[in-house]
Amino acid sequence: MAGREGLTDHYAVLEVAPHARPEVIEAAFIVLREAALAADGDDALARLVELNRAHAVLAHPDRRREFDVLQRERG
């Protein structure tokens, strides 16, 4: 889910809105991770990596704030 200039939209990866509360982000990650774990094949592994990367950014307030700034700057 790379946006402009290669910046991945972590909100789109986790299927949440940019203003989503932390508990919504966590719940979405858990549901999507479980679905990816139940899937087979290389796509499932790639999806897990994508989900983990998005969660690593959005689950931490400082990283999320930095990501939001970058997203605004890149429009």
Say yes or no to pLDDT of 75 above 80: no
pTM (predicted TM-score): 0.88
Query: From the CB of residue 49, how many other CB atoms can be counted at a distance below 10 Å?
Result: 11
- The reply to whether 73 falls in a domain is no
Stated as kind and residue range, the H or E segment containing 41 is none
Spatial distance between the Cα atoms of 74 and 21, rounded to a whole number of angstroms: 23
- The reply to whether 75 falls in a domain is no
Say yes or no to pLDDT of 4 above 50: no
Q: CA angle, 49 as apex, 22 and 1 as ends, to 5°?
A: 75
Residue-wise pLDDT tens digits, 6-64: 689 999 999 999 999 999 999 999 999 999 999 988 899 999 999 999 999 999 999 99
Contact 73, 11 (CB under 8 A): no
The CATH number given to whatever domain includes residue 32 is 1.10.287.110
